[in-house]
Structure 1
Amino acid sequence: MVEILIIEDDQVWIDILLDELENSINNSSVKSILYKNQDYDYFLEKVTQIKPSLVIFDVNMGGNPQEGIKLAKYIKKKYSNLVFVFLTSQKSVDPLILDNAASVGAETVYDKNDFVNDIEVLGKFIKNSLNKSNDLVDIIKEPPLEIDYKARSIKLHNIEIDFTRMEFEILSHLIKNKNQVFSKFQLYDHSTNDTVHENTFENTIVSHIKAIRDKFKKIDKNFNPIKTVQSIGYKYDYKYDN
């Protein structure tokens, strides 16, 4: 059973999402919370009770800009493996939304203004991505990294790093294809089920690459295996000297 939780301040959108998701996702239970400026701990308690496979946050709630992003960040402090996405009508007009969403570990941001297409993409994401690890069994050792595809975990110097689903997909793809250059489009297309939008996918990949690099630096400030290839994209290029 896939448990989905919607946190939104507009009951109309809650009703739309409930109807669409319950009709399109088999074996799912969709619950919702109408945001009314409740204390953050209220939502934390609900997440603890429901144990959702996925949380859908509205970005701007209760008249507070990017309140959903702040709330997601708060909940993720306790539940570091929380899988969540954002829904907003401001995706095309606020360039900071994608960066801020990526910085707190969101898988992606869906557009209310393109709801017909994005709800279909969201359905595919839920059906195909949340349990993707079931088909992955290999462990790849690329010192000083170790990638466990079944557990969907990555360790640097034997220290496990908490990567989002999209960060894991980008990094593992680069590692499996060491020294091969991939464009931002190719990385985006590989790592998500989203429709590629020309005006947003580049910023999304740049934000996730930065997040991966920052997480590496927290453990080893000299470890920088993802190289930028000017005007083309990125590659994994690291020679390990033990």
Structure 2
Amino acid sequence: MAASIALVDDDRNILTSVSIAMQAEGYVTRVYSDSEAALQAIVDNPPDLGIFDIKMPKMDGLELLRRVREKSNLPVIFLTSKDEELDEALGLAMGADDYIKKPFSQRLLIARVKSILRRLELTRDANQDQEVEGMEPLVRGELNMDPARHVVTWKGDNVTLTVTEFMILETLANRPGVVKSRNQLMDAAYQDDVYVDDRTIDSHIKRLRRKFREVDPDFDAIDTLYGAGYRYTE
């Protein structure tokens, strides 16, 4: 079955062009120029992925994401303007999986959509087949990661992560003590040579720490090595 994508933007030209591009790749698109109507539709009939503009009337993309996150862990890509760096950071901190600045190429957007959906498909396949090679649970100290079920716990408490967050943490935890550069983390979390800048990886790391500190204020298992990258310590 073709993946479904919810497109939410008050610019109808963008809705039309992105919808045509996604349909050409075989995706089913649902377009909304009203974010409030989009929220109800997404909650009632969740798509596989959402592409949200940040600046919209009535309810902006950040609020839409927050309210969607109350009901599901829907992966979301933000569309932002060049002067919306603060909003990008807020969006990533709230759980968006990626962002793309306007104006953007359709090729770049399609590549990022494919990357996120591919990782979701791998997770779903693993949920159906618990014997998938390389999907055994990963235990590092108080951390327990189950790739087959996309479940993460810290000291027995569940920590809800997006697909991108999971991939980054898994890359770090696979080799405790080994420093991973931002480029290595990008390669692990983003495929198809999709360009992601350093600040995106930094934002994901900050969000990982925040989520773990919500269940354990003393969490300090992810170290920053300035100028080098990040490492997981048991």
TM-score (norm 2): 0.87
- Given that 1:85 and 1:110 are in contact with CA atoms closer than 8 Å, whether structure 2 keeps it comes out as yes
How far, CA to CA, are the matches of 2:106 and 2:40 in structure 1?
Answer: 32
Deviations 1:110-149 (Å, cap 9, x if unpaired)?
2332324323313422552221212563111222111000
Residue identity opposite 1:232 in structure 2: A
Give the alignment of 1:92-103 within 5 angstroms: 92-103=82-93
- List structure 1 runs of 4+ shifted beyond 6 angstroms: none
The residue that corresponds to 1:75 in the other structure is 68
CA RMSD of aligned residues (A): 2.0
Aligned-residue offset at 1:218: 1.4
SS for the counterpart of 2:177 is coil
Say if 2:52 is the partner of 1:57.
Answer: yes
Residue identity opposite 2:150 in structure 1: R
Residue identity opposite 1:9 in structure 2: D
Q: Percent identity?
A: 25
Residue identity opposite 1:5 in structure 2: A
- Given that 2:176 and 2:232 are in contact with CA atoms closer than 8 Å, whether structure 1 keeps it comes out as yes
- Given that 2:39 and 2:64 are in contact with CA atoms closer than 8 Å, whether structure 1 keeps it comes out as no
**Structure 1 unaligned spans of 5+:** none
Aligned-residue offset at 1:29: 1.8
**Structure 2 unaligned spans of 5+:** 127-131
- Given that 2:152 and 2:159 are in contact with CA atoms closer than 8 Å, whether structure 1 keeps it comes out as yes
TM-score (norm 1): 0.85
The residue that corresponds to 2:100 in the other structure is 110
Give the alignment of 1:204-215 within 5 angstroms: 204-215=200-211
Give the alignment of 1:27-176 within 5 angstroms: 28-35=27-34, 40=36, 42-62=37-57, 67-79=60-72, 81-88=73-80, 90=81, 92-133=82-123, 134=125, 137-176=135-174
The residue that corresponds to 1:12 in the other structure is 13
Aligned length: 224
- Given that 1:226 and 1:236 are in contact with CA atoms closer than 8 Å, whether structure 2 keeps it comes out as yes
- Given that 1:3 and 1:53 are in contact with CA atoms closer than 8 Å, whether structure 2 keeps it comes out as yes
The residue that corresponds to 1:232 in the other structure is 228
